Structure 1
Amino acid sequence: MGQRRALPEDRMLVEQLRLQLGNIGSSVIPTLVVAAVLVGVLHNEANELALSAWCAAIVIFKLFLAWDARRLLASTIDPADARRLLWRKVGLNLVDGVAWGALAWAALGSTTVAGSVLVVAVLAGVAGSSMSSLAPIFPAFVAFGVAELLLLSSKLWQMDDPAYKTLAGASVLYMVALLGQARNGSRAARRAIALGFENLDLVERLRVETDHAQEAQRVADEANLAKSRFLAAASHDLRQPIHAQGLFLEVLARSRLSPEQADALANARATWQASAEMLDTLLDFSRLEAGVVEPQWQVFALQPLFNKIENELAPQADAKGIVYRSRETHAVVHADPALVGLILRNLVSNAIRYTEQGGVLVACRMHGEEAVLEVWDTGVGIDPSQHREIFREFHQLGNAERDRRKGLGLGLAIAQGLARALGQELTLASVPGRGSVFRFKLPLQRGGVVIEDGSGRDATSARASFDARVLVIDDDETIRTGMRQLLRAWGCECDVADSIEEAQALARVHRPDMVIIDYRLREQRSGAGAAAALRAEFGDDLPMLLITGDTAPQRLREARATGVPLLHKPVLPAQLHRAMTALLQGRELDSTFAWLRSADGERVEAP
């Protein structure tokens, strides 16, 4: 760093004066109160006239100082007048110090010992408080402090009591200490003023640099727009021959070919497919860059979209030997289903591409008036330093050789752009080596929890009905509503509770045939506690099922220790139906009901 530039002294004095003048207003009321109290406590026949005159002088002079400070602050102080005003300020504070010191001569010797102690204490306190308010102008404090404390010490020394003479010496030492502290305060004030001027200079330089940066940004934006137009045009012009190529390849595929020709054709078709996918990606990106993506808002259920994406992309996960799951949801949202589908496809494709073991999970959580869509994977993870970069176009992790089988590096940029087109933001949480989760929010449609229809892959109409009363304990209102509707669709009588106490009360009125409990409840309570309380009252043979969204190994081990079968969120309706059927028939659950890997890689299974 360079050396700090010295400021002109007059410029520095102006700021010191303004800083000190600004401190005067806050001392007016305390001064008036102290003066009145002292007169009320100390006056007697011997000193009544002297104290009254002292009080009048203090009040009048303090009001004058406040008026004078306000007047100067309201005007512009010319640096050329700074030194004259400085010495004027020193003179005024000398008078103020003499006025306060006169209290010792007006009261000491004519009041009680307690009154004398009060006088000494007040004058010492006034000197101390003035040190902080006058510190910006050190000569002004010297004038005030020396005048006040010298008058006090001289009066104390004049009195015949040795104790007062000792106080006189202590007053001199106190004055010396205050002068040292005031000098340090004055230096600190000057440094602060100098730093303030440097900051102003820095702000000005930053403003100039910002203007230059904005101009450079404008040029870059124009270049980026030209690039986007080129990509859009190139994408359009290349689609025609690529489309024709695909037609010819399909014709060849229907011809009689030798094994070598068939193998060559398969490679050609794979290359054509990759080219077509790249063009589709470029087209999506170009549309975003051009700002022509306009959401077509409508109300739709998420589950059919989840099912469609799973049908499309699950085979890719199967080919890599990883698990693909989508959590069943009853959420109904207000958005553009086409854009939401594109976002999810890009996120899921990206997750499958970078996951070599474990799995990919697509889920939806309710959060207030919003649905939070999440795509989880157990892939390579992303270093925090790359969290911003991966949303940049053509940026890829682990593809320095630009292998086009790994895509163009546009998927996340497109997903982010589409999310912003919907007025949302795509967020990322990731741990290198452990996996990632991408999230974006959509507005829920009011009353958007719906009963599953018969068209879904897990349609409730295809399931056997139950003749049972089920008690559900969950602190999430949306889940309680969804569970009640689902279980009633299965023929169950369903009671729902959000706490252990409410569940016990409902169970006493209608004894349940089965209890389904969320593991994490409000107030740091757990499903294990709820299970223990209900078993203590209704017996150990009451069928129970725990459901957990926790993946922490310790929490999962705690859940398993209860001996209650455990399902992991998200639970598909088919999975829940099979679990309920087994428990109500008195059968045990096997480990197929618990797909999930905990953070330390341990396989978590139902007991």
Structure 2
Amino acid sequence: MNPPPAPAPLSSKAESQIQLHQFITLQSNVPFIVLGSLLVATALLWVMHEVLPLAVLLVWSGLLAGHALVRLACWWWLRHQTVTEAEVSRRIHLHTVLSLASGLLWGGGALCLLQYGEVEHRLLVTLMLAGMVSSSLISQTIHLPTFHGFFLPCAVSAVAGNLMLGTRLYQAVGLTIFAYSLLAMRFARTLNGKLTESLRARFQIADLAERLHVQKEAAEQANLAKSRFLAAASHDLRQPIHAQGLFLDVLSRTPLSTYQSEVLVSTRSAWRASSDMLNTLLDFSRIEAGVVHPQIQPFLLQELLYQIENDFAPLADAKGLVYRSRETRLAVQSDAILVGMVVRNLVSNAIRYTQHGGLLVACRKRRHTVSIEVWDTGMGIAPADQQAIFREFHQLGNPERDRHKGLGLGLAIADGLAKSMGHGLTLSSKPERGSVFRLELPLSVAPVPSPRQKGPQLQPMRVLVIDDDATVRSAMVHLLQSWGCPCDNAESLEEALPLVLQNPPACIISDYRLRGPRTGAHAIAELRQQLHRQGRRHTPALIITGDTAPERLREALASGIPLLHKPISPEQLYRALVELQTDQQSR
């Protein structure tokens, strides 16, 4: 049989805590030890005073009383001292010395008292000494040297004093006390070991908990640093990609040759790939920030499945995969946009990891719920990995981090969005056989609202653009002017204020992060006040941000101003401006 593993070593702090606990226990027992000692001594002297010489009586009682006063004085002094971990050993040593002095007094007194009186007097001395020794087993075993300091002088005196009396009776008593002393010392060692072991376990747990807390804080700080790095990198990357998308749209409205049109299509494709990756990071940051607020209402699933099939069937065809989608008339109660994002991530993941066969998107009614199921014939997922794939940046089969296989955030985003809506997302998979993801949605019993008709067109209006990036400002101005909207642009609030006085805008578009302490929300608020003083009741505004840091997203959302995230497509900006115009006309 293998020996039990040795206990994990304690830190020096934990060892000091054990000593401190021993000191506190010894210190708390001092008044009771002194009181018991005085009571036993008083009772013993009351019985023995008739047979003891007066000198012996006075000397021994005086020494006991003096020792008691010294011990109580030390106890009182230590009680009002702050005992540090560095001093605790010396404080325990003081208790050991005082205990030894008490043992010598009682042991020496017993040797002397056994010389006087009759049998009953001597047996009384022995009995009371045994009682004092027994009490020390309870009060001082927490620290063996302190216990031994009192126990050994008493035990040796009791054994030697009885043996020296010579008769068989006293010799039998002496041998009995000797045997009892051996058992008592063995019991004291065992009890001390148990007490020390329990203290070690207690402080070991506390020590491990403290280390775990430190490591947890370090991990949280590392995770926070990671999020801040991603947010900063994402913001810096979004600026040029955002401007690039706007310039490409302006370029598409100019006369181009066939070759130039082909190059423009390829460039736009590359821009969309970069934009999709940044938007994936944005979706993850929005989930972390807790700014995803589902808009629950009934909707038909089939329209959503049509849109997803139109978007992803060409990608499946390009890989030689069969994309199938079963039609359904079911309606669910949820957020159509967020459900669409979840299913798109699942379908994208299925296409990415399927090399042969195909995938199926279908709906299944289960009593009061509807399950959207995405089946694939891909590589499958081992049971050990089926929880890990929902963690951020976790990918299977992509050690080289091929960008065509994404960032490893798709399933983490899908899982986070499903949880934000209160829906379940489950996985069933067999390696080399394929996988099926199921999104459980509540079945809708309410009538589904009719689809909206085609919205109005953007009417020309003067727009003020505020952005500290000159390239972004230039792209925005070119794009808005191509839509028939005259523009002014400024790098900061200070530049924008005189422009507002010269040409009051009908709409303000501002970046959220501007130079200096003020944000786009602050700039819009001040410009609105200025326009209000000029008689403009309310000026619609948009905030466009490249920030993905959770705290920044929460701040921007709290401003109450419509928020768009870079890189935005021209279509998104167009729809947002149309909605602002429509809302303004309805006021």
Larger radius of gyration: 2
Query: Higher relative contact order by CA 8 Å / sep ≥ 6: 1 or 2?
Result: 2
* TM-score, structure 2 as length reference: 0.45
